[in-house]
Structure 1
Amino acid sequence: MEIRHLRYFVAVAELQNFTRAAERSFVAQSALSQQIGRLEREIGAPLFVRGARKVELTPAGELLLPHAHRIIADEAQARAELRSYLGLEKGRLRVGLIQTAISAVDVVGPIGAFHDRHPGVDIHITNQTSTEMVEAVRAGALDLAVVGMAPKEVPEGLEHRLLAVDPLVGVACEKVASGLVGPIALPELIARGRLIHFARGTGLRRHVDEALHRVGLEALSSFELAQASDILRFAALGLGVTVVPQTLAEYGRTMLPDLEIPYAVFGLRDPDAVHPVTVVYDPQRIPASGRAFLEILEEFVPHKRK
């Protein structure tokens, strides 16, 4: 099973068309079809159902596709590793980062420090939900990711280092929060307005949902926002109430000068209502650049946690 055959297979699977796959792969369609046929004979099963307008994966093709992605990613990483085996003079670093405003850890400073120490390494930054970035680490598309997950939430097969644990707090505009005295229980906050929630798939969304479930509340919301700053703006405007990490609540007061209406922040009575920040990586795949970044990241963590 050759890497080029797997690349052709992935191209056809993604484009569902032999002609477009051949164009993307810079080979003649006849040559690509021939190589796909060779791969099918080697496997002993058809990989595609060939239709008049498009092709679709067979069950065998569905089974092979994630493995093909991983093998191709591993081959690319191996090439990068070999280019930099004499040191961190070349190569690349692929990092996934949660939004800086909601992280209790400085995730930008380590990037700058790494660039200063290893200027020859190409740095690629991805900002997605925690769930998406963890899956990217598992698939070999990211070398490591700083995510909003607790160690117990990290999938089996990945290593992790807990970097920080940020308490969750309630936020509401002063008019909506009138009469509330912290620390408060979540039902007291939710009774004051609709919940302004973070997007699904994020670590913060999961941790807020868990806190709601502990007090018997459903995690229903008509506002689901992807940007941390927008959540604070909606709350400050009195459009609802929200639950965010303490770091984000403090960030909004100092870094969002356009918020003309001040908002109130309340500690929560639930000691388990926290937002952990963890770095995850695959110990079998992490390159030298990734390990060097981990060391720098540790320097920016105020208190080491196990």
Structure 2
Amino acid sequence: MDLRDLRYLLAVAEEGTLARAAVRLRVSASPLSRQIRLIEARLGLPVFARQGRRLTLTEAGARLLDRAREVLAAADQLAEHVRTELGEPPTRLAVGCVDAAVHTGLLATGLRAAEHTYPGLRTTVTLGHSPELIDRLRAGELDVALVHTPPPAADPNLVRTLVLQDPVALVIPAGHPAAHAPRPAALDGQAWITDQRAPAGIERFRAAARDAGFTPDIRYQAADLAVRVNLAAAGLGIAMLPARAVPALVPPALPVTVAPVPWLPLRIQVYTVTTRRPPRVVPAFTAGLTALPSPALPKTSRPGTTQAPSDLTRTPDDDG
């Protein structure tokens, strides 16, 4: 096997079909299919189980691909080292991020800064949950990660920097009883939509709600912020967003009320996490990502939008 074989296997595993993998690799699907079968024959084990056009990893294939990612990451790092020795600019950047980093503009800000410093970068962006992104950063598959829950400050191998601390805003269905007065009494027992991948964040929300005087009925859990907004617009419950993400995710025509709740002391935090000796391109990416001030929510004419009084304080916490 050579590095090209490993990249073929990885592309098929991540894309799920030969057609999508072929587009990613810029090859034809038929030769790619033959190459995958040839690799499996040389290995003597089935890497993929075939279900129609869908290819899924076998248990042995999953173990193989875990090691293949490590090998490819090491090869990329070696190539970057050679470019550094030759005085050439970096050519690649691998970023992992939670979806809040996308919708709040952090990802785009970092990419623009990196592209400005090193024109022509080839960049890959991986969406995921904080623990898996940090694992991929440790394995060398990512150059930088934007996460909610960072590693411990005393971690000997990784460096974390807080770049966003945003208050939450409620997205309330139009006509909902709480739309005109999003206070604790109106929110008690109402249906809520939260992040399914953040059990610690859900528990912090329950605790903050209890302190504020209401009990949420968490009926729906969805990993993606945009999905949670759409469920709220369908009248299924109340969702929470980082305030900075409201302009990107809540268009004016959406049948919801957006309400700041300064009396609910929850904060959405995003950290950059890098290795202690990151690739040269990483400082360019992180240069513009200082601790950003939280913006005021945009004025809106939607019925029921209110400014709730600030009557509670609490130390900001991670989203999970």
Counterpart of 1:211 (choices 205, 212, 228) is 205
Counterpart of 2:230 (choices 225, 228, 233) is 233
Aligned 8 A contact 2:165 2:293 in 1: no
RMSD over equivalenced CA pairs, Å: 4.5
Asked if 1:263 is matched to 2:263, the reply is no
Q: Equivalent residue of 2:165, what SS?
A: strand
Aligned to 2:187: 189
**What residue identity is the alignment partner of 1:256?**
P
Counterpart of 1:290 (choices 275, 282, 285) is 282
Which segments of 5 or more consecutive residues in structure 1 lack a partner in the other structure? Answer: 16-21, 37-47, 49-54
Q: CA deviation at 1:144?
A: 0.7
> CA 1:144/1:172 → structure 2, altered by over 3 Å: closer, same or farther?
same
Aligned to 1:164: 164
Count residues in correspondence.
260
Q: Report Cα offsets for 1:139-172 as digits up to 9, x if no partner.
A: 2111111122356599774211100111123331
Aligned 8 A contact 2:172 2:256 in 1: no
**What residue identity is the alignment partner of 1:210?**
R
**More displaced 10-residue stretch of structure 1: 85-94 or 110-119:** 85-94
Aligned 8 A contact 1:102 1:247 in 2: no
Q: Which structure has the larger Rg over C-alpha atoms?
A: 1
Q: Report Cα offsets for 1:23-55 as digits up to 9, x if no partner.
A: 5497795xx66xx9xxxxxxxxxxx9xxxxxx9
- Runs of 4+ residues over 6 Å off in structure 1: 25-28, 153-156
> CA 1:169/1:146 → structure 2, altered by over 3 Å: closer, same or farther?
same
Aligned 8 A contact 2:151 2:158 in 1: no
How many Å separate the matches in 2 of 1:241 and 1:188?
12
Aligned to 1:111: 111
> CA 1:73/1:190 → structure 2, altered by over 3 Å: closer, same or farther?
farther
Q: Equivalent residue of 2:176, what SS?
A: coil
Q: Report Cα offsets for 1:55-98 as digits up to 9, x if no partner.
A: 976xxxx7x99677535522331222312444452431111233
**More displaced 10-residue stretch of structure 1: 80-89 or 137-146:** 80-89
> CA 1:196/1:56 → structure 2, altered by over 3 Å: closer, same or farther?
closer
The 5 A counterparts of 1:20-59 are 24=36
Aligned to 1:247: 244
Q: Report Cα offsets for 1:168-189 as digits up to 9, x if no partner.
A: 233312422447645x44x852
Asked if 1:274 is matched to 2:267, the reply is yes
Which segments of 5 or more consecutive residues in structure 2 lack a partner in the other structure? Answer: 14-33, 46-57, 295-320
Aligned 8 A contact 2:153 2:159 in 1: no
**What residue identity is the alignment partner of 2:159?**
E
How many Å separate the matches in 1 of 2:78 and 2:270?
29
Aligned-pair identity (%): 21
Aligned 8 A contact 1:96 1:142 in 2: yes
Q: CA deviation at 1:112?
A: 2.1
**What residue identity is the alignment partner of 2:189?**
A
How many Å separate the matches in 1 of 2:115 and 2:274?
20
**What residue identity is the alignment partner of 2:246?**
A
How many Å separate the matches in 1 of 2:40 and 2:175?
68
